[in-house]
Every structure is written in structure tokens, then in C-alpha cells.
Amino acid sequence: MSLIVVGSMAFDAIETPFGKSDKIVGGAATYIAWSASNFTRPVKQISVVGGDFPREEMKILEARGVSMEGVQVKENEKSFFWSGRYHLDMNTRDTLETQLNVLGNFKPVVPDSYQDCEFLMLGNLLPSVQLSVISQLKNKPKLVILDTMNFWMDTAMADLEKVLKKIDVLLVNDAEARQLSSHYSLVSAAKAIMEMGPKYLIIKKGEHGALLFNEDKVFFAPALPLEVVFDPTGAGDTFAGGFIGHIAKTKDISFENMKSAIIVGSAMASFCVEKFGTTRLRELKREDIDNRIHAFKELTKFDIELG
């Protein structure tokens, strides 16, 4: 049994108030795989890259237990490219350039060896591509997690509504939750979104932490207050990777365990933002992760006697 990750493997060029990167390796599925592979292996990747994507990157991921069988390589095309500039608040950004390239006509194919899928992580992509992967699976996974963004709400809402009916956990940020539900209160937004399909909703709030909703239950996860947020690119994907990595490792999809999974995801995201791109994720040791999770425990622990 295994975890499938679907998403882009791509190039990013990033400007922040602290500096500027060259064209570096990025993409939702790249970050998710770097993050999740700390907790569970194999991670079975589904993506598409052009001939320009470094083979070395794929070998490094394979050495970490990330299968590339589902990654199509289009030798004569170019990989997806995004460049953006972050504002001083590091929560908002402008897109400078988007080149869809190989993603423009991506037809994902689920290899036979992936049909043992127990957990499916659908990274942010065209909803029709996400739907295609779900429909190719012969058995329903134990848990399907979907990440999406405002762009698909604006341009592909009908498909997004279809895919929402087929998933268990939706990941969005606070502005997207508001847009998707037409409710300002996140509690009201969560109720409305859970009526659209997902039983669980995770609302990511960047430096303000994350909320997990299920029925009438809610969990508030903190974000680690950081002195320097160097580059937020990929933080949401790294969060998703830690979340699904912990779920796949423990094979426990209870609300209680999802809380732990959110803390793991938050800890991983807190590393991601410390350096450009995937740099910090590549350096991590198990001990670093344990120490960071411990810091999250300390951050929110309190004991109060009532009455």
C-alpha cells in the first residue's frame, strides 16, 4: 500500500525582500515529495516535466524512495515555469510570469504499479487533471486530499465542484475558503464547504497557523513565530506533504490523528520558508524534525485549573 502524489514538477524564479533566486527547481509535487518522504516511502509521483528538467533531481528523489514511474518526460518540451515577487508581508505576492509549457496539455497516466494506492494527495493543478487521476484508480483510496487555489475557482469552477464531491480533505487558504463559500466567517465558510463534498477542511493562514474542521469539531494549529521568513514558496505544499506523510505513516485517519498531522505539516512548512526553494528541506535530519515538532508542543501547551 502506498501514497500517490499528483502535481507539478517545475522551475520557479523568486524575488523576496531578502533576495532573488535563479531559476530553481520547484513545483507542488516536488515540495510534497521532499516533505512526505521523511515519513513514508514509497511516495509514488505523478507529474510531467520537459527535457530541461534535471535528471539529477529525479535521481535524488528516487534515492529518497520517490517513484518516478508516473512522471512523464517530454524531451522536446519545456517544464512549467513560474516567477513571482513577494511583498513585504510575505503573505501576498505578484505573479510576474507563468509558462504552462508541458502542463498545458497534461494527461496523467496512473501506472499499474500505483494501483495499490491507499492515500492520494492531489497537489494544486487543473481540477480536470485531478479528476482524471481519481477516475483511473480501480479502488477508492482510504483518504483523498486535495489542494486547489483561487485561480481554478475563477476559471474552472464546474470541474472543481465535481472533484470536491470525490475527496475527503480539502486544503485551501483563508481567502480561498471565503471565495469558495461566499462567507466571510471561516466557521460559516467551513460549514458551507463541507456541504460541497469534503468531510474535512484545512484552512491555511500562513503566519497565523491553520484550522482543521470536521462536522462541528475544530482544531487551531499555531505557526511557529519566525524571525526571518526568507521564501514562502512551497510552504503550503510542504505542509501538505508533512500532513499526508504523517497520515500515511500512521495509517490513522481519525480527527485526533489529523490534528497531529497538521502539526507535522506546520513543522515542515516552518523549515521550508527558512531558505530559498527546497534548499532547507534537503538538509533536514530526523532529529531536526523531532526538535521542531517539540517546539510546536511547547508553543501551545498550557495548563489551567477551572473554577
Binding site for a copy of itself (CB under 8 A): 88-89, 184-188, 205, 207-209, 211, 218-223, 225-229, 256, 259-260, 262-264, 286, 290, 293-294, 297, 299-304, 306-307
Instruction: Give whichever of 48 and 244 is closer to a copy of itself, judged by the CB atom.
Output: 244
Q: Give CA–CA dist 207/224, Å, rounded.
A: 8
Q: H or E segment at 220? A: strand 217-221
* Alpha carbon distance 68, 110 (integer Å): 11
> In terms of CB distance, is 118 or 219 closer to a copy of itself?
219
Looking at the Cβ atoms of 29 and 186, the one nearer to a copy of itself is 186
The Cα 198–Cα 35 span in angstroms is 23
* Rounded alpha-carbon distances, angstroms, from residue 69 to 36, 109, 114, 134, 214: 17, 10, 9, 17, 35
Q: Which is nearer to a copy of itself, 140 or 294 (CB)?
A: 294
CB nearer to a copy of itself: pick between 166 and 191:
191
What does DSSP assign to residue 175? H
Tell the smallest beta-carbon distance from residue 232 to a copy of itself (Å).
Answer: 13
CB of 195 to a copy of itself, least distance (A): 15
Contacts 24+ apart (CB under 8 A), 191-199: 193/164, 196/161, 196/164, 196/165, 197/164, 197/165, 197/166, 197/167, 197/170, 198/146, 198/164, 198/167, 198/168, 198/169, 198/170, 199/168, 199/169
- Quote the least distance from Cβ 218 to a copy of itself, whole Å: 6
| Cβ closest to a copy of itself, residue 45 vs residue 270 | 270
- Give CA–CA dist 250/246, Å, rounded: 6
Helix (H, G, I), strand (E, B) or coil at 96: strand
Beta-bridge partner residues of 85: 15, 94
Q: What are phi and psi of 109, to 5 degrees?
A: -125, 125
Q: Of 178, 175, 173, 205, nearest to 191 (Cα)?
A: 178
Cβ proximity to a copy of itself, 155 vs 185, nearer residue: 185
What is the three-class DSSP state of 67?
strand
